[in-house]
A = this chain, B = another copy of it.
Amino acid sequence: MPDTRRSGAETRERILAVAREHFARQGYDRTTIRAIAAEAQIDPSMVMRYFGNKEELFKVAASIDLALPDLTTAAPGEAGRVMAAHFVRTWDAEGTLMALLRRAASDPQAAEQMRGIFASQVAAAVAPLCHDPTEAPRRAALVATQLLGVALGRYVLRLPPIVEMTPDEIVTWVAPTIDRYLTADPAHLPQK
């Protein structure tokens, strides 16, 4: 009750940090405002003060900038490796992307948010590599399936073999796949 007064913007950040962690670990539905407030050592109503409602809090907490590297500077055949390495490093560091992925599994709006991220950011990074620009969305999406699949296995499902792999091992296995999705000639139909 000593009304430990903090700087305001500071508590806002603290709420956000706790929220990110909770969303990433448990998903949207199972994360409660009360739990966030408790861990941030404030009253639940403070969360509402700062963010309006749970929905809005999530939106702010889950805003993501993938900060993708410029693939055009990568050596030919190395683009896949660069991309894979970037992703593994990114989501190993912080769980924001995982929070969004978790929620997207049961909430159409979060799925839409994710679609936006991949449609814009990933497709944009991929586009310069394609001779035919209309191919970019499809290639970006294929890349996404593999990268998100790994994320799913490693952080959500926690498949033991995937969890045990080092980041380097993951990159080594996955890079050729990404690279093929990025650069394979459309005349690949005889896929044998």
Contact = CB atoms under 8 A, between A and B. Distances in A.
Contact of A176 (B78, B105, B115, B191): B191
Given A106-B106, A148-B153, A118 B159 contact: yes
A160 interface: yes
B149 A146 contact: yes
A142 B181 contact: no
Contacts of A102: 105-106
Q: Is the interface of A mostly helix, strand, loop or mixed?
A: helix
Interface string A146-169: 111110110011111110010000
Interface string A39-72: 0000000000000000000000000000000000
Contacts of A9: none
A105 B111 contact: no
B159 A106 contact: no
A141 to B, nearest CB: 4
Given A30-B29, A102-B105, A106-B27, A162 B145 contact: yes
Given A104-B156, A145-B159, 20 more contacts: A26-B106, A27-B106, A30-B106, A102-B105, A102-B106, A105-B105, A119-B160, A137-B161, A138-B161, A144-B159, A145-B150, A145-B162, A147-B149, A149-B149, A149-B152, A152-B152, A172-B189, A176-B180, A176-B191, A177-B180
